[in-house]
Chains A and B, each alone.
Chain A
Amino acid sequence: MISYKADVIIIGGGIIGCATAYYLAKNNISVTVLEASDYIGNGGSSRNGGGVRQSGRDPRELPLVMYGIRNLWPHLSEEIGVDTEYHQDGNLRLGKNVHHREILQGLTDRANKVGLDVRMIDGDEVRKIIPYLSDEVTVASWCPTDGHANPLTTTLGYYKTARKLGARFYTGVKVMELRKVKGELRRVLTDDGSVFEADQIMVAAGYESRKLLGSVGIDVPMTRSLLEALVTEAEPHMFDQMLGTADADFYGHQTKHGSFVFGGSSGFEGFNKDNGTPMTSSITAPAICRGIMKYFPDLADAKIVRTWAGWSDKSADGVPVLGRVEEVPGLIVACAFTGHGFGIAPAIGDQMAKLIMSGTTDIDISALHYDRFKAKI
């Protein structure tokens, strides 16, 4: 049992929590991160496909990720002392038929409207970028400023550097409840009876945030979905782009190590069951393999060494809930990233730290405010 006081407490030791802690610690703010599991970055942070994408994103969150790609990602490796393996070699979203073309055209039009460089290209142009793609690919949307990075080293790099700068991290400590003191959020009560106190408390605990926020009367409408991914053994270098498909049958990239990290779906993600741990289902990895092989016949012999699953915290409208909760003074929230929180995480950490320190952000995040959810009629 411990009792501890800091300027800021962050609940959730994923990449959002670690990045925010880093940017706070860098500014000499005393910050404590509480992680329920035994591991740093154990949720989506270590289970995602590594995309650092702007294309395909909702305009409400696009400015944040564009800010991160311009200002943070390019020098992040040096800053946090790990190889983030960041590549900015573009994102291809692949299509094989007229229906796919319509989907891709829609995404491209929306991106162009907010000033993002996304183009429609045909199959031959696609194969100029990645010659290994099968002839089935007839169309793609192409965003040259997108890329990918290594979520494991990036998350742990933020942790490592924040820790070095004096941020305190506790793992294996589950927060049960948030408590106000005289009308302001001040305390965090944990499962072992410890009490942590701070002037500001940020909840960045993925899906678990919903229950915690409930203890101070705030609800974020979200559900969770079990997503799966796999990795192959190291293969000779083939391409540096991030990939997705109009059909959403797989996404992923080739890592610096040479392995391919691909995510995909069986179609039952929202309904997968678990036993309390994120478990893979027996039907998903084969489905991902079939998806990949239609695009990359050359990968048929690549050996899969590992599969895994992770929950995404899906918000009701597909974008995160971010920022101050005015109803509960002292509360900041950053959750419901809906499966695309990794690429945006440095920007979130940077902006949340600014919000905590100065009360404002450089990027307008008002569209991501917690109270945006209204009944449809």
Chain B
Amino acid sequence: MNTLSDRSRDIGEFVSQPGDEMIICRCEEITKGEIRRAVHEGMFTMTEIRRYLRAGMGLCQGQTCSKLVKGIVARELKVSPADLEPATSRVPMRPIEMKVFANENEDEDE
């Protein structure tokens, strides 16, 4: 499952492009340029992009943007998007209030 990745391999310099200012992750307001720059700073995986920029870490947890981010990262790395492992999925599937998550006892509904 794990694949050797040389993080020093040459993917070229970051050069800004038209469209870099476009917002990709709406929840966290992360732009295309920020994502592209992060790749050139060494963030070669969806997981690292997420941790570094917070892209896909907002309320929707990447439901909308994860494919978009993946496409951008793949283009910068010159690989197919299918070759990039998506970031992990985690509980909860939908945001849940603390008081609800805490309330495991059915009989005490309040």
Contacts and interface: CB of A to CB of B under 8 A. Distances in A.
State yes or no: do A and B touch (Cβ within 8 Å).
yes
Interface of A: 2, 36-42, 46, 82, 152-153, 156, 159-160, 163-164, 168-174, 192, 194, 232-233, 257, 280, 285-286, 289-290, 292-293, 299-308
B85 interface: yes
A160 B7 CA distance: 10
Instruction: Give the residue among A38, A152, A292 with the most B Cβ atoms within 10 A.
Output: A38
Given A257-B54, A302-B97, A168 B7 contact: yes
A192 B47 contact: no
B43 to A, nearest CB: 7
Interface string B1-37: 0111111100000000000000000000000000000
17 contacts: A38-B3, A40-B48, A82-B52, A153-B52, A163-B8, A168-B6, A169-B8, A170-B7, A171-B4, A233-B95, A293-B98, A301-B97, A303-B59, A303-B95, A303-B98, A305-B92, A305-B95
B99 interface: yes
Contacts, number: 123
A302 B96 CA distance: 8
Given A300-B97, A303-B95, A305-B95, A293 B102 contact: yes
Interface in B30-68: 41-45, 47-48, 51-52, 54, 57-59, 61
A199 to B, nearest CB: 20
B104 interface: yes
B98 A299 contact: yes
A104 to B, nearest CB: 25
B47 A232 contact: no
A160 B41 contact: yes
Contacts of B48: 39-41, 156
